[in-house]
Amino acid sequence: MGLVASQVESSMEIEGLDPVLADAAAEGRYLRMRDWQSQFLPSPRDVFIYLPKAYFEEPERRFPVLVLHDGQNLIDGNLSFVKGSTWSMGTTADAEIEAGLVEPLILVGVANAGPQRMAEYTPTPDRRLGGGNGPLYARLLVDELLPMLRSAFRTLPNAEATGIAGSSLGGLISLAIGLRYPDTFGRIGVLSPSVWWDNRTILRDVRSLPGTLPLRVWMDIGTGEGLRHVRDTDLLAQLLKAKGWRDGQDFLYRRFSGALHNEEAWSARFGQVLRFLFPNQNRM
């Protein structure tokens, strides 16, 4: 266990947890757990953790948690799929928290498993493309990762204080997991979702819901991502509202003019995602 990890929580017993040096201004608040292994899926993966300043300033306080997919694209440009391009998740969260717009929270970026990314981020198998290991990935998060984090960090354990978010296939699996585990994840970020997967099965899943669930959902799309993807996401948003999600209250759908399907676009709106999913209640 690295020095920074021991300073964060003396009782922590997570192997391979070390500081991330991507942002010197972070002052040891970015941590990286290397090659974490799950019993549900064979590929080891890194887990990146951001701690807000309040975590150190208020030692009795517990914090909400947002789990994000594609963790290697969130902090360090040297690890990102597109070199140098990240979501800047920590610096964005710091800015939103310091502005009083977002409540202090813990961000957890789970790295994808490279060649297994498509399989793990898809809730059902596609006849042509395969995949469909999303249910096992969900168990990795629900049964293994979250309990480990809750034992090691001062987190709020209830669903209302726990979110899951991602983009593209990560957006698809975030919504699929949220619909399946509303007692675990109460806040869902669905950025540029791959609605097209498996003949748009996610649309059928939403249509089959008996009604709304206790989920606060952010959904978006960039108009530069292609007309078909915009239309699919529009339809998904309409279906959720038809099931009882209330626009501007527990649901927010945004189109971003000209935005493309890439890390730069998602980084640009990540602050807005945080504002809706985890608003500073003292500011409201």
pLDDT at 2 over 80: no
Per-residue model confidence as pLDDT tens digits over 243-274: 999 999 999 999 999 999 999 999 999 999 99
Average predicted confidence (pLDDT) for the chain: 90
Query: What pLDDT is attached to residue 282?
Result: 81
Banded model confidence at residue 24, pLDDT cuts 50, 70, 90 = very low
- Segment 43-54 mean pLDDT: 94
Residues 165, 188: contact at Cβ < 8 Å?
yes
Q: Which of 106, 127, 107, 129 is nearest to 117 (CA)?
A: 129
pLDDT at 25 over 80: no
Q: Can you tell me the distance from the alpha carbon of 205 to that of 168, in angstroms, rounded to the nearest whole number?
A: 18
Per-residue model confidence as pLDDT tens digits over 113-152: 999 999 999 999 999 999 999 999 999 999 999 999 999 9
Query: What pLDDT is attached to residue 214?
Result: 98
In the chain, where the domains are located: 3-277
Angle of helix 169-180 versus helix 197-207 axis, rounded to 10: 30
Query: What pLDDT is attached to residue 75?
Result: 79
Q: Which of the four CATH numbers 3.40.50.1820, 3.40.50.2000, 3.40.50.300, 1.10.10.10 does domain 3-277 have? A: 3.40.50.1820
pLDDT at 10 over 70: no
pLDDT at 18 over 80: no
- DSSP result, the chain: --HHHHHH-TT---TTEEE--S-GGGTT-EEEEEEE--SSSSS-EEEEEE--THHHH-TT--B-EEEES-GGGTS-TTTSSSTT----HHHHHHHHHHTTSB---EEEEE---GGGHHHHT-SS-BTTTB---HHHHHHIIIIIIHHHHHHHS-B--SGGGEEEEEETHHHHHHHHHHHH-TTT--EEEEES--TTHHHHHHHHHHHT-SS--S-EEEEEEEGGG-HHHHHHHHHHHHHHHHTT--BTTTEEEEEETT--SSHHHHHHHHHHHHHHHSB-TTT-
Least confident of 22-31, 172-181, 254-263, 267-276: 22-31
Query: What pLDDT is attached to residue 252?
Result: 98
